[in-house]
Structure 1
């Protein structure tokens, strides 16, 4: 066993996951530029966004989302009772009041709700990375809150090396896999589906 070569542990990282929030409630507190980015990410993931922020000072993009009915909007300041809905999956704050943000974070900890407090890494259960999107393809680069601008640089360099229309190709692969699952349902038919899939790729 001593001669085995296993990967070395590299602590200090994050567990990067594709968190499925489709049709799940996510509470966003704040209506500025950072909130606009958070809301767009959530809507792209088909989440049900609940937004709490006074109307005065809303970012133009956030106001647009509200006008289009893309979010459930409450024109007010955050109150602890806003976390009483058990269906809330996560909370994101993007306000210019550090004390208020910390209070919200502590309330989320009490209720065991995952939270992201903008620009305060120690008060984040998860981070946003720099994301490249092409249809179903999503590539995220994370610096674990250390250097967001560096993450953008790395993401752009990775995206520049990708083949054109890679997203469309992946979408076609996904459609093929769905068809094969209909033709050969059940986990026990996995090997058969894989053979058909490999054969179809050779014939394409």
Structure 2
């Protein structure tokens, strides 16, 4: 029986999509590495506080400060900077200072990433490909960041150019479906039906799908069927069905 289950492969990390929207992220350091960290968390809609002396600021970091994309404190790190922080990222050329910050974070139970010191990281940054809502991260668990970048580029080169737009349309359809069938008991059926749509329609079909197509397609949720886009537009199946914002169809 054991051969029917996946073999456990230890030594990995749990890769998650961490939602930090609106959370306070403290970045210590203002060099090139800090610039990348800042962009990563700004892309995730976090609120960023940067602590670093103005001397030696990376040009991109200086730009973020000038555009008021971050809250800037012009000095070296002080322990009080951790007050109110939900996450800490350090990128300074001072191993001893970095270790002290990490120890303080552990005491306060604040997740931290100490750049270039894997043993002092609660999480790692991977190499990320972004296309609209699509994000693909490649992690080497701190072993080879440059290699992760190479692998990420190879993966991205093999993806369809319109996959980001297709995912956006699928997201719109899912939100509409949740309004049509909001009950928790509908959850498994919603997932099954959306899977059918993604398997039946091509990426080009999903990109081309408009609001009218979505409304007509939703008419096939109850009978649990999925017509092709061409059939849907030719009217070979059910007519457009409206949803009045409450339970049921009209």
Under a length normalisation based on structure 2, what TM-score does the superposition of the two structures give? 0.77
The offset of 1:52, in angstroms, is 0.4
Q: Residues 1-80 of structure 1: matches in 2 within 5 Å? A: 1=1, 4-80=3-79
Would you identify which runs of 4 or more consecutive aligned residues in structure 1 move more than 3 Å?
Answer: 191-203
The offset of 1:196, in angstroms, is 5.6
Partner of 1:121: 118
Q: Which of 116, 123, 127 does residue 130 from structure 1 map onto?
A: 127
Cα gap change, 1:115 to 1:154, in 2 (>3 Å): same
Q: Which of 100, 106, 110 does residue 109 from structure 1 map onto?
A: 106
Corresponding residue SS for 1:202: coil
Query: Which structure is higher in strand share?
Result: 1
**Separation in 1, partners of 2:228, 2:63:** 47
Corresponding residue SS for 2:41: helix
**Separation in 2, partners of 1:190, 1:100:** 49
Q: Residues 163-182 of structure 1: matches in 2 within 5 Å? A: 163-182=160-179
Corresponding residue SS for 2:88: strand
Q: Residues 133-172 of structure 1: matches in 2 within 5 Å? A: 133-172=130-169
**How many residue pairs get matched?**
201
Note the alpha carbon deviations across 1:6-25, whole angstroms, 9 max, x for none: 21111110000000000000
**Which sits farther off after the overlay, 68-77 or 190-199?**
190-199
**Is the Cα–Cα contact under 8 Å of residues 36 and 59 in structure 1 kept in the other structure?**
yes
Gaps spanning 5+ residues in structure 1: where? none
Cα gap change, 1:91 to 1:194, in 2 (>3 Å): closer
**Separation in 1, partners of 2:193, 2:51:** 50
**Is the Cα–Cα contact under 8 Å of residues 21 and 46 in structure 1 kept in the other structure?**
yes
Cα gap change, 1:195 to 1:42, in 2 (>3 Å): closer
Cα gap change, 1:194 to 1:14, in 2 (>3 Å): closer
Please report the RMSD computed on the Cα atoms of aligned residues, expressed in angstroms: 1.5
**Separation in 2, partners of 1:132, 1:202:** 32
**Is the Cα–Cα contact under 8 Å of residues 184 and 192 in structure 1 kept in the other structure?**
no
